[in-house]
Chains A and B, each alone.
Chain A
């Protein structure tokens, strides 16, 4: 093993301690836990629950879109449904998913630490998230919000629906995000095991670290924006509403100044997962470690300077459009570097097609489409035609769902044994992955086509010429829904009947594989020490004399 833990040189000799699940019992041991692993599992359960809610809303939408006319729900209900779908998926699922669930569980383990730097703050983050989420969800459902997840003014300030409470919910959720980011940032700086230099950090840690930086710097802007919106609505001070002397386009600047970096809050952790999955299941040193790590940082920085590409047709100045377009293309380069590096990692590897690896390969397929279609939208003149059409819908689903969610599901499978101590049924996993992959592509690929033909987004009804592709999309969404449900079922079943996972089912070389599955309460028996990087697998052929560091 590349990473040496004094006490784990001979795992068989080591006394097994009870896992962190067995260390304490009862409801209170969960609700008031300071253990990052328990918090991670609770985030996992919460994001899965909200994913289900957002998914059901999506399936109702797709069913309505089977015909050009309204026949299942009213236009108002349709608008509420896409608002619920978008807002839940963005604020309650994608943003907290990877950092909240896998980040919490794995970060201290990967660093060889006992916990995060501020365990109490971590508990606070979780409770802020939970209260914010419950409040937000209740508002969405009972207050019948119909503004879309973007809350664009002046519709949002004139709409009779519960905009204030919903934005307040998003405001509260933002604080959870900031506190988690802060916690992770300090943890990475201060809690690394002896020998775990920055160049030896697993790429998942680099990704979580870059994400934390964006969370801390960008989320306050969302809070400010939402606060201004609340002030406008309650005190009638004209900020965004032209009827009171405000500027609706100013709101878009504020909103995207946060929400574009937020896109990278959503996707960077997914990148981190993919780096781990591809290296471990190929037993190959990741190709271009430094390029991947630094490209995350580059993306984090440039992501702050591209918000205007959401506003090419908003009436902002033409010069601003040109500058934002250029910077948008600049983000494409570090992203391309990552994709090429992942593919190159496969070269001369020993590739096992386990379920997590299948998800990683599916990610390479879908995320590459998501990234390449972004080029159309960054190109000014082409964007004018495609802006606010289904092309955009397809593009961001390929990035958010085909990128982050596919990576997240792959990550859940990869670390399932570590987190639960049980293995899921591998055959079931492969079938699930196939269903998800096919369903996803059937749902979204042809949306590029109706988008290029001019089908605008957020339409409850549409011109009949688009019906064929809408029907195909809806069929795809059912397959996708089925695949996800199937996955949820076999994962839950494995908790009772799954085979014991063992400490290191896939032969990983980073520190989390050096402890029990599930880990003990304090993670490691002794202080782990690190003398090599996390991709130094024993199968790597060193007879060629290649140097390692």
Chain B
């Protein structure tokens, strides 16, 4: 199923080629999947966060009340249907028109029960809305049609749901409160983990937060639950919950970037560009941002802040990645690029240079 999964670029290209918004490959599989999450085909999803059990308890409390009242209504209806079926045309009917006591009771009893349900749900809701102070932060960015997940506490570690081989979109330790700070770069999305019973809309132009504490090691589905266009149902991922001692190593490993077989150096460099945060400060279209644009950068003569002129060759670029403050281009003196010493290895740097070379 995975091998049939098309990257967004591929479908965009296919659409452009067809010159028609309606065109799309009819048999492609858009949805990735985690292992089956429920024990029975009718059960709730696995309970995997501290919210799951309390949400389910209220859910089943309402189920019990609903079944009771539904059975009562339908039993009364069925009994009356049989007992008072029309046996003859001149059958007499009762002259009852109302009964104050009965009407009071059937207004008051549901009202009381509804207040109980309201209060129960409200207490749980306040818990869900209040992340504990020791929660670790993870940043989630929604884009048509994938999730990007960044770990502010682990610079350079970035996962995403659509582009990388391991389906794992998010890794969290068990028993540790996690707060997601989420935003969208295009339209509305909604971040939903059924096994955790959490969901929150992801909105462009502002941040929304959601928190959870995983209670169970395993892999669980992430869905987008706010309609966001063509590949809405493909905007899925997997969250992996690990024992705390496994967390850090696995996260660094999953966040690791390696050249794939058959992948060109420049393509690999492109992945590093988006995964390692270069994209945040360096544009590819010539627009100056926090740092100089990479368009036409390779081989260009640069005037430095010191007044010296150098050529942006392989060695200069490598130096700028490892010791950004050594030779600063004129006009960018205030920019505080962090050193990538120890963050990128030689192979990755070479790939990045290949990628920059391509930006003519």
Q: What residues of chain A have their CB less than 8 Å away from a CB belonging to chain B?
A: 68-77, 79, 144, 146, 148, 152, 154-155, 158-161, 242-243, 247-249, 282-291, 313-315, 318, 321-322, 325-326, 329, 332-333, 336-337, 339-341, 343-344, 346-353, 361, 364-365, 368-369, 372-373, 375-376, 378-385, 387-389, 449, 452-454, 456-465, 468-469, 535, 537, 539-542, 544, 546, 548
Indicate which residue in B28, B95, B192 contacts A541 across the interface (CB closer than 8 Å): B95
Cα distance A35–B124 in the bound complex, in angstroms: 57
Indicate which residue in B93, B99, B227, B234 contacts A540 across the interface (CB closer than 8 Å): B93
- Most B C-beta atoms less than 10 A away, residue of A148, A290, A325, A343: A343
- Could you list 12 further interchain pairs (A-B, Cβ under 8 angstroms) beyond the known A348-B93, A350-B92? A74-B26, A146-B230, A148-B227, A288-B97, A329-B118, A343-B73, A376-B59, A378-B117, A380-B121, A384-B125, A453-B44, A454-B221
Identify the closest chain B residue to A333 (Cβ): B111
Given contacts A160-B21, A318-B125, contact A379 B118 (CB under 8 A): yes
Contacts of A463 in B (CB 8 A): 31, 33-34, 221, 236
Cα distance A454–B192 in the bound complex, in angstroms: 9
Identify the closest chain B residue to A72 (Cβ): B26
Q: Are B95 and A540 touching (Cβ within 8 A)?
A: yes
Cα distance A540–B41 in the bound complex, in angstroms: 51
Cα distance A282–B85 in the bound complex, in angstroms: 8
Q: Are A347 and B228 touching (Cβ within 8 A)?
A: no
Residue B229 is within 8 A (CB to CB) of chain A in the complex: yes
10 interchain residue pairs of minimum CB distance: A454-B194, A242-B205, A74-B24, A348-B94, A381-B124, A379-B121, A380-B125, A459-B233, A346-B80, A541-B92
The smallest C-beta distance from A194 to any residue of chain B, in angstroms, reads: 23
Q: Are A285 and B77 touching (Cβ within 8 A)?
A: no
Residue B149 is within 8 A (CB to CB) of chain A in the complex: no
Q: List 30 A-B contacts (CB under 8 A).
A: A69-B28, A70-B26, A74-B24, A76-B230, A77-B22, A77-B24, A155-B187, A248-B205, A283-B93, A287-B97, A289-B98, A315-B208, A318-B129, A321-B125, A332-B110, A336-B107, A346-B84, A347-B94, A350-B92, A375-B66, A381-B197, A384-B128, A385-B194, A385-B199, A453-B43, A454-B195, A456-B225, A459-B232, A539-B90, A539-B93
Cα distance A283–B91 in the bound complex, in angstroms: 9
Cα distance A288–B252 in the bound complex, in angstroms: 68
The smallest C-beta distance from A196 to any residue of chain B, in angstroms, reads: 18
The smallest C-beta distance from A228 to any residue of chain B, in angstroms, reads: 17
The smallest C-beta distance from A329 to any residue of chain B, in angstroms, reads: 4
Contacts of A457 in B (CB 8 A): 225, 227
Q: Are A248 and B204 touching (Cβ within 8 A)?
A: yes
Q: Are A313 and B223 touching (Cβ within 8 A)?
A: no
Indicate which residue in B55, B86, B227, B231 contacts A385 across the interface (CB closer than 8 Å): B55
Q: Are A379 and B62 touching (Cβ within 8 A)?
A: yes
Cα distance A352–B128 in the bound complex, in angstroms: 52
- Most B C-beta atoms less than 10 A away, residue of A318, A337, A382, A548: A382
Of residues 135 through 161 on chain B, the ones whose CB sits less than 8 Å from some CB of chain A are none
Q: Are B77 and A364 touching (Cβ within 8 A)?
A: yes
Contacts of B76 in A (CB 8 A): 343, 346
The smallest C-beta distance from B61 to any residue of chain A, in angstroms, reads: 9
The smallest C-beta distance from B86 to any residue of chain A, in angstroms, reads: 5
Q: Are B125 and A381 touching (Cβ within 8 A)?
A: yes
Cα distance A339–B74 in the bound complex, in angstroms: 11
Identify the closest chain B residue to A545 (Cβ): B95
Of residues 63 through 122 on chain B, the ones whose CB sits less than 8 Å from some CB of chain A are 65-66, 69-70, 73-74, 76-77, 80-81, 84-86, 90-99, 102-103, 106-107, 110-111, 114-115, 117-118, 120-122
Q: Are A352 and B86 touching (Cβ within 8 A)?
A: yes
Residue B206 is within 8 A (CB to CB) of chain A in the complex: yes
Indicate which residue in B77, B111, B200, B204 contacts A154 across the interface (CB closer than 8 Å): B204
Cα distance A531–B86 in the bound complex, in angstroms: 28
Contacts of B85 in A (CB 8 A): 351-353
Cα distance A368–B74 in the bound complex, in angstroms: 9
Contacts of A343 in B (CB 8 A): 73, 76-77, 80
Contacts of A287 in B (CB 8 A): 96-99
Q: Are B45 and A368 touching (Cβ within 8 A)?
A: no
The smallest C-beta distance from A64 to any residue of chain B, in angstroms, reads: 10
Contacts of A464 in B (CB 8 A): 33
Q: Are A282 and B192 touching (Cβ within 8 A)?
A: no
Contacts of A336 in B (CB 8 A): 106-107, 110
Residue B224 is within 8 A (CB to CB) of chain A in the complex: yes
Cα distance A41–B160 in the bound complex, in angstroms: 57
Residue B29 is within 8 A (CB to CB) of chain A in the complex: yes
Residue B320 is within 8 A (CB to CB) of chain A in the complex: no
Q: Are B93 and A537 touching (Cβ within 8 A)?
A: yes
Contacts of A291 in B (CB 8 A): 98, 103
The smallest C-beta distance from B136 to any residue of chain A, in angstroms, reads: 21
Cα distance A73–B204 in the bound complex, in angstroms: 30
Q: Are A456 and B44 touching (Cβ within 8 A)?
A: no
Cα distance A272–B233 in the bound complex, in angstroms: 40
Q: Are A146 and B229 touching (Cβ within 8 A)?
A: yes
Q: Are A389 and B227 touching (Cβ within 8 A)?
A: no
Cα distance A378–B59 in the bound complex, in angstroms: 11
Given contacts A152-B188, A154-B204, A313-B199, contact A74 B55 (CB under 8 A): no
Q: Are A368 and B95 touching (Cβ within 8 A)?
A: no
Q: Are A332 and B223 touching (Cβ within 8 A)?
A: no
Residue B38 is within 8 A (CB to CB) of chain A in the complex: yes
Cα distance A465–B236 in the bound complex, in angstroms: 15
Cα distance A459–B221 in the bound complex, in angstroms: 15
Residue B243 is within 8 A (CB to CB) of chain A in the complex: no
Q: Are B33 and A318 touching (Cβ within 8 A)?
A: no
Identify the closest chain B residue to A315 (Cβ): B208
Identify the closest chain A residue to B124 (Cβ): A381
Given contacts A350-B84, A540-B95, contact A449 B42 (CB under 8 A): yes
Residue B311 is within 8 A (CB to CB) of chain A in the complex: no
Cα distance A400–B69 in the bound complex, in angstroms: 21
Q: Are A318 and B97 touching (Cβ within 8 A)?
A: no
Cα distance A333–B80 in the bound complex, in angstroms: 24
Contacts of B328 in A (CB 8 A): none
Residue B162 is within 8 A (CB to CB) of chain A in the complex: no
Residue B16 is within 8 A (CB to CB) of chain A in the complex: no
Residue B350 is within 8 A (CB to CB) of chain A in the complex: no
Cα distance A347–B205 in the bound complex, in angstroms: 58
Q: Are B93 and A350 touching (Cβ within 8 A)?
A: yes
- Most B C-beta atoms less than 10 A away, residue of A74, A154, A247, A368: A74
**How does the 8 Å CB contact mask read for B10-40 relative to A, with 1 for contact and 0 for none?**
0000000000011111111111011011100
The smallest C-beta distance from B221 to any residue of chain A, in angstroms, reads: 7
Cα distance A129–B221 in the bound complex, in angstroms: 45
Identify the closest chain A residue to B20 (Cβ): A76
Identify the closest chain B residue to A339 (Cβ): B73
Q: Are A337 and B107 touching (Cβ within 8 A)?
A: yes
Residue B326 is within 8 A (CB to CB) of chain A in the complex: no
